[in-house]
C-alpha cells in the first residue's frame, strides 16, 4: 500500500493529464492505468479558454485525487502563488512543486525549490517536490517539511529512463523510510519496472502514455510493469555475479560411466 501524507493508495502509478489527443482518450487511459492520483497543471489548463471547464468536469468525473502542480514556474515566487491558487481551486493542500531552472533541460532549480517548499510547508501545504537525485538537496527538502521526494529519472519528456541509476540507488539507500516517487524521463514500461525494482515507491508518468500510438494500452502496460517491479523488489532480487553459478549443483552428484565395450 502506497502511503503519502497520511493517505493510502493501492496503485503505485501516478498519471499526468496533459498532451492527450482527446478528453475521452484521457478518461480511458486513466481508467486503464488504475491510477488513483492524477496531476494537473493549473497554469496550463487555466490558459485553455473554451475547453477549460470541460476539462475540470472530466477530472471530477474520474474520481481520482487531484495533485495540482506548478509546472511552468521559473521562480519560487511564481510557484508559491500558483500553489496558493491551486489550493483554493481544488480544495486540497497537496501540491507537486516544480521550480524550473533551465528551459532546455527543465532541470529543477534546487535553490528555488527549497525556498518555496519551506514557505509552503509552513503554510500547511503537503509538498511533493520535483527534484533531482542530489542528496544534499533532498536533505534540505525534508528539513523544509516535505515528507515525500520526487526525483527525476532523466529530463521531462526525454523518455531516456534511469540515466543515473547508481545515484538513484544511493538515494533509496540514504532515505529508506521516505516515500520516493520517480518523476520524469520514464519512456517505457521496462524503465518503470526498473525503478520499482530499486525499491522506489511509485512512478509518475505523462508523455510516455499520452503520446503513445495507443495511450490506453500503454497505460495498462505501465500499470502491469509497475506492479511487477514492486513484486520483484518485495520478493528479493538475486544479486548480480561476475562468474557463472550453476542452477544445478554438481558437488556430490553421482556420475555413472557407461561401458560401451560390454
| Residues 71-110: tens digit of each pLDDT | 989 999 999 999 999 998 888 999 999 999 988 888 999 9
Report if pTM > 0.85. yes
The CA–CA distances, whole Å, from 76 to 82, 90, 98, 114, 158 equal: 10, 21, 9, 9, 24
pLDDT at 50: 42
Pairing between β-strand 13-16 and β-strand 37-41 as defined by DSSP bridges: parallel
161-166: average pLDDT? 94
> What number is the average pLDDT over the span 114-138?
96
Residue 124: helix, strand or coil by DSSP? coil
Q: Could you read off the pLDDT of 46-65 as tens digits, one per residue? A: 544 444 556 777 877 888 89
The annotation status of 184 as a binding-site residue, yes or no, is yes
Confirm whether residue 236 is marked as ligand binding: no
Q: Is 157 annotated as a binding residue?
A: yes
Q: Residue 33's Cα: distance from chain center in Å?
A: 14
The structural domains of the chain, ordered by start, are 2-235 (3.20.20.70)
Q: Is 96 a catalytic residue?
A: yes
What pLDDT digit, counting tens, does each position of 167-178 carry? 999 999 999 999
The C-alpha cell that represents 178 in the structure block: 521516505
Residue 96 has φ and ψ, to the nearest 5°, of -85, 110
- Catalytic-labelled residue, pool 96, 165, 211, 257: 96
Cell matching residue 139: 536533505
Cα dist from 25 to 44, 65, 133, whole Å: 19, 19, 33
Confidence of residue 243 (pLDDT cuts 50, 70, 90): confident
Mean pLDDT of 155-163: 91
Beta bridge partners of 100: 108
Amino acid at each position: 500500500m502506497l502511503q503519502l501524507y497520511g493517505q493510502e493508495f493501492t496503485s503505485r502509478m501516478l498519471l499526468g493529464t496533459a498532451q492527450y489527443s482527446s478528453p475521452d482518450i484521457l478518461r480511458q487511459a486513466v481508467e486503464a492505468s488504475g491510477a488513483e492520483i492524477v496531476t494537473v497543471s493549473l497554469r496550463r489548463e487555466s490558459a485553455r479558454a473554451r475547453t477549460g471547464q470541460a476539462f475540470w468536469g472530466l477530472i471530477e468525473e474520474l474520481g481520482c485525487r487531484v495533485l495540482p502542480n506548478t509546472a511552468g514556474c521559473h521562480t519560487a515566487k511564481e510557484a508559491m502563488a500558483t500553489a496558493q491558487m491551486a489550493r483554493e481551486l481544488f480544495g486540497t493542500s497537496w501540491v507537486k512543486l516544480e521550480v524550473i531552472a533551465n528551459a532546455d533541460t527543465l532541470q529543477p532549480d534546487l535553490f528555488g525549490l527549497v525556498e518555496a517548499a519551506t514557505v509552503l510547508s509552513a503554510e500547511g501545504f503537503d509538498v511533493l517536490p520535483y527534484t533531482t537525485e542530489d542528496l544534499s538537496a533532498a536533505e534540505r527538502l525534508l528539513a523544509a517539511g516535505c515528507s515525500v521526494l520526487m526525483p527525476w529519472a532523466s529530463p521531462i519528456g526525454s523518455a531516456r529512463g534511469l540515466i543515473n541509476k547508481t545515484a538513484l540507488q544511493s538515494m533509496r539507500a540514504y532515505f529508506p523510510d521516505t516515500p520516493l516517487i520517480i518523476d520524469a524521463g520514464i519512456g517505457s514500461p521496462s524503465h518503470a519496472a526498473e525503478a520499482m525494482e530499486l525499491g522506489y515507491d511509485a512512478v509518475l508518468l505523462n508523455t510516455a502514455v499520452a503520446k503513445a500510438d495507443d495511450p490506453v494500452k500503454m497505460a495498462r502496460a505501465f500499470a502491469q510493469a509497475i506492479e511487477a517491479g514492486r513484486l520483484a523488489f518485495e520478493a528479493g532480487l538475486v544479486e548480480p555475479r561476475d562468474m557463472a553459478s550453476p542452477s544445478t549443483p554438481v558437488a556430490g552428484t553421482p556420475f555413472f560411466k557407461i561401458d560401451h565395450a560390454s
